[in-house]
């Protein structure tokens, strides 16, 4: 996802604290499959819904719970009319946005049951019912991070993945897009149409999606057997089809680098999402104002397409590890842009992101892995999850080398495809593939609430024909860095030196026939750090 704004979050965090508080969400059930049936209309914002939820029990329990928003003070929310198992009514309560169902008999570990929940109401969120920029009525789900509960009964947490079906009944002038493949469309009386989409690949609720609108649709092409389509507003279809067509140029890069695309299709959808882009699995929603007709969406398309592998298929275990989604999508976008436009483009992007991270860290001192994200995931949409997360992966490439880096990325994805992973599990994969102990790297970059800050003082010692240099770390504790410094002499010759920096003060003497006319620290933008260079005269 690309955000429209940058919320801030502050927490001083330690790795041990996180490990102690890594609790499971609603651990007694593992949802296997959802069938969501909903009917919408043009006359009002009310909907009728029915959910069939199939669960496997991981504990012996006498009750089961699902997330579903209650009716609030404004009258928006959902009212349950019935809950049944095998056609028999069950006793339930619905309070504080939680449905608590008393089972007729205790569920045994490993047993599987299906519950039918019927409900109605006006969604307060999660399904955006509104008019688009052209004044047409539209319905777009918008679930991230845990907003599916505002219109769908579910286990609304990214740690639980399930296959899903959407069966939508709507006025027949609408077209419906969703995850998976369209199984059927049935014309009904009174100018209604029922559309049935089925996704057999298990998804977290955050990327389950449905869009209902007067779409113009085109097939942009096919990549490695994956159909790529565009679903847009008719009024700007020519511009939108031009912009979204770039997806067919981007997708091959990620398939080649990461492995097979994980879903049945790639639909790019103009929508009312509150985000710049929302990476719904196989049906990416983009903000409606992203369309220009000038092919300026390359970065946004690449970011959301990268999410199909990272965030959707290989998903973080919990919100504090959001960088495994957003940092990966950011890094993969950088690497695609480098492939497409060259090294200078990558350096420019990294410099911009470095400035963003350094400014953010001065305001909010928190690690990238931030425990507060568990209760406030929206606050995780910040420069640490995105820009610093991307930087960390690019620094891993610098440390390990390009070949080993990509092998580790592919191994991580292959290991956790369709599953969930933590930062610690990513670290283990990279250590196994590279044969290196990366503990210090991960601690200093992911858990410490600061970035390197170096003061570099130098002078030219003419009698000794050498540069005397002192590098002082300004942080509370020392980083271990492989610093590169480039000096340029009076003839324009560039000479680079590799300097290990791993203590408070590093003093060194560099042989030089003449005084340099310029010093460039980190010329290839390989380290996320702040530097001040001073010549002592």
| Residue 314 main-chain phi, psi, to 5 deg | -90, 105
CA 277 to CA 268: how far, in whole Å?
10
Q: Which helix (H) or strand (E) holds 353?
A: helix 343-363
pLDDT value at residue 4: 62
Question: What is the domain class of 27-209 according to CATH?
Answer: mainly beta
CA nearest 120: which of 186, 53, 69? Answer: 69
In the 8-state DSSP scheme, what is residue 380?
G
Q: Is the Cβ–Cβ distance between 444 and 368 less than 8 Å?
A: no
Domain segments of the chain as ranges: 27-209, 215-298, 317-447, 453-535
Q: What is the pLDDT of residues 295-354, one digit of tens each?
A: 999 999 999 999 999 999 999 999 999 999 999 999 999 999 999 999 999 999 999 999
pLDDT value at residue 23: 61
Q: Which two tokens stand for residue 388?
A: 């610093």
**For residue 110, with 0-12 CB atoms within 10 Å meaning exposed, 13-18 middle and 19 or more buried, which class applies?**
exposed
Q: Is the Cβ–Cβ distance between 230 and 218 less than 8 Å?
A: yes
Task: Please tell me the chain's helix, strand, coil percentages from 3-state DSSP, rounded to the nearest 5.
Answer: 30, 40, 35
- Residue where the block lists tokens 């008999």: 105
pLDDT value at residue 535: 92
What's the pTM value of the predicted model, to 2 decimals? 0.95
Quote the strand ranges of 279-361, DSSP E. 283-287, 315-316
- Into which CATH architecture does domain 317-447 fall? Orthogonal Bundle (1.10)
pLDDT value at residue 292: 98
Q: Is the Cβ–Cβ distance between 323 and 369 less than 8 Å?
A: yes
Q: Which helix (H) or strand (E) holds 226?
A: strand 226-232
The strands making up 494-501's β-sheet, listed across from edge to edge, are 494-501, 481-488, 518-521
| Residue 243 main-chain phi, psi, to 5 deg | -65, -50
CATH topology of domain 215-298: Zincin-like (3.30.2010)
CA 64 to CA 105: how far, in whole Å?
11
Q: Is the Cβ–Cβ distance between 280 and 208 less than 8 Å?
A: yes
pLDDT value at residue 11: 32
By DSSP bridging, strand 127-131 and strand 137-141 are antiparallel
pLDDT value at residue 537: 82
Helix (H, G, I), strand (E, B) or coil at 266: strand
DSSP states of 39-90: E--SS-S-EEEEEEEEEEESS-EEEEEEE-PPP-TTS-EEEEEEEEETTEE-
Q: Which two tokens stand for residue 133?
A: 């920029």
CA 328 to CA 331: how far, in whole Å?
5
DSSP states of 95-138: ETTEEEEEEEEEEPTT-EEEEEEEEEEE-SSSEEEEE-TTS-EE
Residues of the chain with pLDDT under 70: 4-23
CATH topology agreement for domains 27-209 and 453-535: yes
CATH topology of domain 453-535: Immunoglobulin-like (2.60.40)
Burial 166-203, CB ≥16 within 10 A → b, else e: bbbbbbeebbbbbbbeeeeeeeeeeeebbbbbbbebbb
- Residue where the block lists tokens 């503990």: 439
CA 113 to CA 461: how far, in whole Å?
80
| Residue 36 main-chain phi, psi, to 5 deg | -105, 115
Question: Residue 228 to residues 231, 297, 303, 490: CA-CA distances in angstroms?
Answer: 10, 16, 16, 55
């Amino acid at each position: 996802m690309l955000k429209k704004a940058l919320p801030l979050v502050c927490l001083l965090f330690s790795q041990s604290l996180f490990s102690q508080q890594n609790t499971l969400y609603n651990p007694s059930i593992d949802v296997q499959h959802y069938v969501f049936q909903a009917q919408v209309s043009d006359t009002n914002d009310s909907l009728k819904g029915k959910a069939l939820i199939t669960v496997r029990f991981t504990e012996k329990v006498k009750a089961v719970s699902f997330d579903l928003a209650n009716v609030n003070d404004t009258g928006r929310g959902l009212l349950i009319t019935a809950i049944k198992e095998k056609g028999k009514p069950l006793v339930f309560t619905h309070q504080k946005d939680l449905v608590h169902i008393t089972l007729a008999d205790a569920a045994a570990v490993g047993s599987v049951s299906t519950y039918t929940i019927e409900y109605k109401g006006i969604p307060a969120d999660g399904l955006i019912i509104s008019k688009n920029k052209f004044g047409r009525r539209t319905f777009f789900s918008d679930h991230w991070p845990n907003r599916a509960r505002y219109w769908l009964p579910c286990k609304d947490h990214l740690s639980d993945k399930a296959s899903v079906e959407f069966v939508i009944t709507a006025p027949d002038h609408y077209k419906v897009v969703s995850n998976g493949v369209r199984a059927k469309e049935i014309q009904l009386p009174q100018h209604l149409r029922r559309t049935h989409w089925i996704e057999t690949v298990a998804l977290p609720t955050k990327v389950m999606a449905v869009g209902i609108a007067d779409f113009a649709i085109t097939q942009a092409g096919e990549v490695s057997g994956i159909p790529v389509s565009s679903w847009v507003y008719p009024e700007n279809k020519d511009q939108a089809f031009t912009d979204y067509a770039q997806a067919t140029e981007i997708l091959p890069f990620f398939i080649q680098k990461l492995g097979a695309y994980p879903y049945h299709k790639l639909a790019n959808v103009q929508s009312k999402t509150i985000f710049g882009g929302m990476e719904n699995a196989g049906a990416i929603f983009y903000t409606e104002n992203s369309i220009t007709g000038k092919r300026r969406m390359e970065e946004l398309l690449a970011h959301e397409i990268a999410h199909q592998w990272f965030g959707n298929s290989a998903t973080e275990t919990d919100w504090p590890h959001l960088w495994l989604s957003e940092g990966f999508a950011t890094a993969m976008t950088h690497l695609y842009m480098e492939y497409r436009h060259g090294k200078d483009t990558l350096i420019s992007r990294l410099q911009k992101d470095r400035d963003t991270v350094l400014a953010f860290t001065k305001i909010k001192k928190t690690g990238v892995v931030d425990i507060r994200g568990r209760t406030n995931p929206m606050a995780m949409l910040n420069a640490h999850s995105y820009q610093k997360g991307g930087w960390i992966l690019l620094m891993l490439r610098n440390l390990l080398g390009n070949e080993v880096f990509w092998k580790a990325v592919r191994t991580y994805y292959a290991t956790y495809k369709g599953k969930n992973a933590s930062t610690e599990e990513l670290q283990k994969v990279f250590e196994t593939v590279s044969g290196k102990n990366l503990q210090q790297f991960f601690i200093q970059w992911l858990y410490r609430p600061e970035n390197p800050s170096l003061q570099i003082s130098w002078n030219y010692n003419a009698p000794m024909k050498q540069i005397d240099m002192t590098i002082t770390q300004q942080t509370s504790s020392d980083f271990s860095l492989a610093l590169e410094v480039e000096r340029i002499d009076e003839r324009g010759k560039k000479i680079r030196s590799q300097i290990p920096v791993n203590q408070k003060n590093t003093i060194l003497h560099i042989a030089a026939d003449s005084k340099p006319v310029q010093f460039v620290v980190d010329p290839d933008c390989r380290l996320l750090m702040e530097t001040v260079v001073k010549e002592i005269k």
